[in-house]
Amino acid sequence: MKADKIRNLTEEELRHQERDLADQLFKLKFQLNMGQTESLKKIRGLRKDIARVKTILGERTRAAATEKR
């Protein structure tokens, strides 16, 4: 998922997206440990997507904090 697409989401949608991505990551890690999959690229991509979502949420939080001052 591209950062531009993530920036267009609302804060609620971002939190929902973060939960969905974390759930997918958990399932893939579980499958990897059980020996059912070897999709390391997909795990790596999910981790990067989660980081992007968290970064944009953090940016918005910091921007809202500076506006309140």
Instruction: Return the pLDDT at 58.
Output: 95
Question: Which residue did the predictor score with more confidence, 67 or 38?
Answer: 67
Q: Residue 69: inside a domain, yes or no?
A: no
Q: Residue 31: inside a domain, yes or no?
A: yes
**Among candidate residues 28, 23, 30, the one with its CA nearest the CA of residue 42:** 28
Q: Residue 39: inside a domain, yes or no?
A: yes
Q: Residue 27: inside a domain, yes or no?
A: yes
Q: Residue 56: inside a domain, yes or no?
A: yes
Q: Which domain holds residue 58?
A: 3-63
CATH number of the domain bearing residue 26: 1.10.287.310
Count up the domains in the chain and report the number: 1
Instruction: Return the pLDDT at 15.
Output: 96
pTM for this model (two decimals): 0.88
**For the segment 7-61, what is each residue's pLDDT rounded down to a tens digit?**
999 999 999 999 999 999 999 999 999 988 878 999 999 999 999 999 999 999 9
Instruction: Return the pLDDT at 17.
Output: 96
Q: Cα 41 to chain center, whole Å?
A: 15
